[in-house]
């Protein structure tokens, strides 16, 4: 399965129909929450997705405008809500809440939706022009149409039928240290400075947010100002996503990198640091690791996670001695035991690669002994 995202360019009548789909799906979702709550308080039993789906014909008679949209999209809403309740009762997610207008507007379609050249045909909507990259070959399984910052997008799930290559025991492991100053530092010596898209856009964002604050609530000018702020946020998000896509592709496409070692960071907990939260969020570490995982899997390469409590920064990668506390401002340090001089981030990346190699060798019964890829291409160090 592969996801494929395209940007839609509907005309005025098509945009109205898409907005009707968003509104109807949101209304059905909220209505089903209301009905489910009443039934649960009355009987103590929850409703399944099929119970909600069975109520749709009755609602369509009561509210004829529901028949203007794709019936399958409304059915999918019912099953999505049932899944949300299921996750809540399993304590995997919060209680489903009512959806607000213009907040995560989306609807899904499965049957009678297909690509037609450079246009996308959705049921009850004429073919919509789109633009995107190279479309994967295969059977289309599902379309999800979204509206983000006034623009329309379609996320397409395609069954390519391609089986990823089997994972082979790696001989070389690249250690990756994620940071704030340099977003990625590898054990091979690659330093990638943080692009800081949000930081560089703060001035423009400040101007647009102040203009929004001056507008009267409920006015048309406020809606326009709100859209300008949303578009800037979306631009920052797109820049960060593009950067992470290109960086992960560069790492995975390198044939020397047979496996990757990263720390399993608790990014959500780290955002509690009010001094660094803005910079950590701007780096997009979670997105980077997500992209690296799926691209490495498609290439038949390993991504090995190292425990977040492993002292990668404080450990000397030459002799293994762990020193005391190191301040954030200390970018270079010298080992008091062996005298080796270390770059803070490159030393951490090397230790992450060595620790991942030890973990991998232990899981394989000691048969596989991968080596860490270091800054000197000739030099490699045993991981176990």
Same domain? 187 vs 141: no
- The per-residue pLDDT for 136 is 77
Q: Verify that 334 and 271 share a domain, yes or no.
A: yes
Residue 9: CA atoms inside 13 Å, Cβ hemisphere, count? 6
**Average pLDDT of the chain, as a whole number:** 89
Largest CA distance in the chain: 81
180 shares a domain with 83: no
**Same-domain status, 99 and 176:** no
Residues 193 and 142 in one domain: no
Please identify every residue annotated as catalytic.
177, 263, 345
Say how many residues make up the chain: 384
**Domain ends where: 106, 134, 159?**
159
Residue 63 belongs to a domain: yes
| One domain, residues 368 and 233 | yes
Are residues 279 and 362 both part of a single domain? yes
Q: Indicate the residue among 105, 129, 159 that finishes a domain.
A: 159
Instruction: Report the CATH number that the domain containing residue 336 is assigned in CATH.
Output: 3.30.420
Contact between 46 and 40 under an 8 Å Cβ cutoff? The reply is: yes
Instruction: Give the pLDDT confidence of 131-147 residue by residue, as tens digits.
Output: 887 787 888 889 999 99
Residue 30 is assigned to a structural domain of this protein: yes
Task: With a cut of 50, list the residues of the chain below it in pLDDT.
Answer: 377-384
- Given a contact cutoff of 8 angstroms between Cβ atoms, the answer to whether 346 and 192 are in contact is no
The answer to whether residues 137 and 236 belong to one domain is no
pLDDT tens sequence across 200-246:
999 999 999 999 999 999 999 999 999 999 999 999 999 999 999 99
**Is the same domain home to 48 and 103?**
yes
216 inside domain: no
Residue 112: its pLDDT value, please? 82
- Looking at residue 171, its pLDDT comes to 86
- Residue 368 pLDDT: 63
Per-residue pLDDT tens over the stretch 163-200: 888 888 888 899 999 999 999 999 998 999 999 999 99
N-terminal to C-terminal alpha carbon distance within the chain? 36
Tell whether 164 is covered by a domain. no
Number of domains, the chain: 2
Q: For residue 311, give its domain range.
A: 172-198+229-382
Backbone angles phi, psi at 175, to 5 degrees: -85, 140
C-alpha to C-alpha distance for 357 and 150, rounded to whole angstroms: 47
Q: Which of 159, 181, 214 is the last residue of a domain?
A: 159
326, part of any domain: yes
Q: Do 176 and 141 share a domain, yes or no?
A: no
* Domain membership flag for residue 167: no
CB burial of 195-208 (b: ≥16 within 10 Å; e: otherwise) equals bbbbeebeeeeeeb
59 and 134 assigned to the same domain: yes
Query: What is the value of pTM for the model shown?
Result: 0.87
The verdict on residue 205 lying in a domain is no
- Is residue 210, in this structure, part of any structural domain at all? no
The answer to whether 259 and 303 have CB atoms below 8 angstroms apart is yes
Judgement on whether residues 135 and 258 belong to the same structural domain of the protein: no
């Amino acid at each position: 399965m592969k996801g494929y995202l395209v940007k839609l360019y509907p005309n005025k009548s098509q945009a109205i129909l898409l907005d009707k789909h968003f509104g109807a799906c949101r209304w059905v979702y909220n209505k089903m929450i209301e009905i489910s709550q009443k039934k649960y308080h009355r009987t103590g039993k929850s409703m399944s997705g099929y119970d909600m789906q069975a109520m749709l014909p009755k609602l369509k008679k009561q509210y004829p405008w529901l028949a203007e949209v794709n019936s399958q999209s409304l059915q999918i809403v019912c099953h999505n809500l049932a899944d949300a309740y299921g996750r809540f009762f399993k304590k995997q997610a919060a209680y489903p809440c009512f959806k607000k207008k213009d907040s995560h507007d989306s609807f899904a379609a499965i049957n009678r939706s297909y690509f037609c050249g450079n246009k996308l045909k959705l049921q009850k909507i004429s073919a919509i022009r789109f633009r995107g990259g190279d479309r994967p070959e295969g059977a289309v399984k599902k379309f999800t149409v979204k509206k983000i910052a006034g623009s329309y997008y379609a996320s397409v799930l395609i069954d390519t039928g391609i089986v990823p290559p089997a994972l082979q025991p790696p001989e070389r492991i690249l250690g990756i240290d994620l940071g704030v100053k340099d977003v990625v530092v590898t054990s091979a010596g690659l330093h990638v400075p943080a692009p800081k898209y949000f930081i560089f856009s703060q001035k423009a964002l400040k101007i647009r947010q102040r203009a929004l604050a001056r507008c009267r609530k409920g006015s048309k000018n406020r809606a326009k100002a709100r859209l300008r702020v949303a578009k800037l946020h979306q631009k920052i998000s797109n820049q960060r996503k593009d950067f992470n896509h290109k960086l992960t592709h560069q790492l995975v496409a390198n044939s020397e990198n047979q496996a990757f070692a990263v720390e399993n960071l608790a990014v959500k907990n780290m955002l509690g640091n009010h001094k660094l939260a803005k910079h950590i969020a701007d780096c997009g570490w979670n997105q980077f690791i997500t992209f690296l995982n799926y691209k490495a899997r498609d290439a038949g390469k390993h991504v090995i996670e190292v425990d977040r409590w492993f002292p990668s920064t404080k450990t000397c990668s030459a002799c293994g001695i762990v020193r005391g506390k190191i301040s954030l401002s200390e970018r270079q340090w010298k080992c008091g035991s062996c005298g080796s001089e270390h770059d803070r981030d490159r030393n951490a990346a090397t230790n992450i690669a060595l620790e991942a190699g030890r973990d991998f060798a232990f899981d394989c019964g000691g048969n596989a002994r991968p080596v860490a890829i270091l800054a000197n291409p000739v030099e490699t160090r045993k991981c176990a």
